[in-house]
């Protein structure tokens, strides 16, 4: 069952879009504390990209984490084995699983990566950003499921 509704995803990205640089940094620090392993994973991979592409990927990643952070109960900490399970899936299977569990988060990711006017991603940049954010979506969804079943 999807945890992130269309209304929540729309609200979160609109709120984040109005934040100034200081508020964005504070949000990122909060995510680094609450989802340290997942944030390190995303940052490490996204720094492989050119600055504009990596910056867009980081931004989209943090908007998705913020959406999950808005849920009650919040997801538990994502551990490395959960990240590795998702990351090791074939790209098409990862995309399908992420869309099946959180279609609204995936739709936001696809729109944000495709529609940013200031940054045009190459096919390989878009594929890497998508894979990282899909891994985060699947991992965070699973963390919500585990927290909800306790």
Residues 21-40, mean pLDDT to the nearest whole number:
94
Mean pLDDT for the chain overall: 93
State mean pLDDT over 123-130. Answer: 96
Nearest to 112 by CA among 10, 28, 8: 10
Looking at per-residue pLDDT, the higher value among 77 and 148 belongs to 77
Contact at 8 Å (CB) between 51 and 121?
A: no
Residue 3: enclosing H or E segment and its boundaries? none
Q: Which residue has the tokens 């934040």?
A: 19
pLDDT for 107 equals 97
Whole-number pLDDT of residue 68: 96
138 near 97, Cβ under 8 Å? yes
Query: Can you say whether the dihedral through the CA atoms of 85, 65, 100, 108 is positive or negative?
Result: negative
pTM, whole model, 2 decimals? 0.93
Return the H-helix or E-strand segment holding 20.
none
The pLDDT of residue 146 = 84
> Tens digit of pLDDT for each residue in 51-108?
999 999 999 999 999 999 999 888 999 999 999 999 999 999 999 999 999 999 999 9
pLDDT for position 148: 65
3-state secondary structure of 50: coil
**Whose CA is closest to 146, among 80, 74, 41?**
74
Supply the pLDDT for residue 150: 47
Residue-level pLDDT at 9: 97
């Amino acid at each position: 069952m999807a945890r992130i509704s269309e209304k929540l995803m729309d609200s979160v990205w609109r709120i984040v879009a109005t934040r100034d640089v200081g508020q964005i940094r504070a949000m990122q620090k909060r995510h680094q504390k609450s989802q340290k392993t997942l944030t390190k994973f995303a940052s490490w991979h996204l720094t492989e990209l050119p600055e504009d592409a990596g910056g867009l990927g980081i931004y989209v990643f943090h908007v998705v984490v913020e959406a999950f952070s808005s849920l009650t109960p919040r997801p538990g900490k994502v551990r490395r084995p959960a990240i590795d399970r998702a990351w090791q899936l074939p790209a098409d299977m990862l995309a399908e699983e992420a869309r099946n569990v959180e279609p609204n988060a995936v739709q936001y990711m696809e729109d944000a990566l495709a529609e940013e006017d200031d940054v045009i991603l190459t096919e390989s940049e878009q594929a890497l950003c998508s894979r990282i954010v899909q891994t985060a979506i699947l991992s965070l969804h699973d963390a919500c499921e585990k927290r909800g079943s306790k």
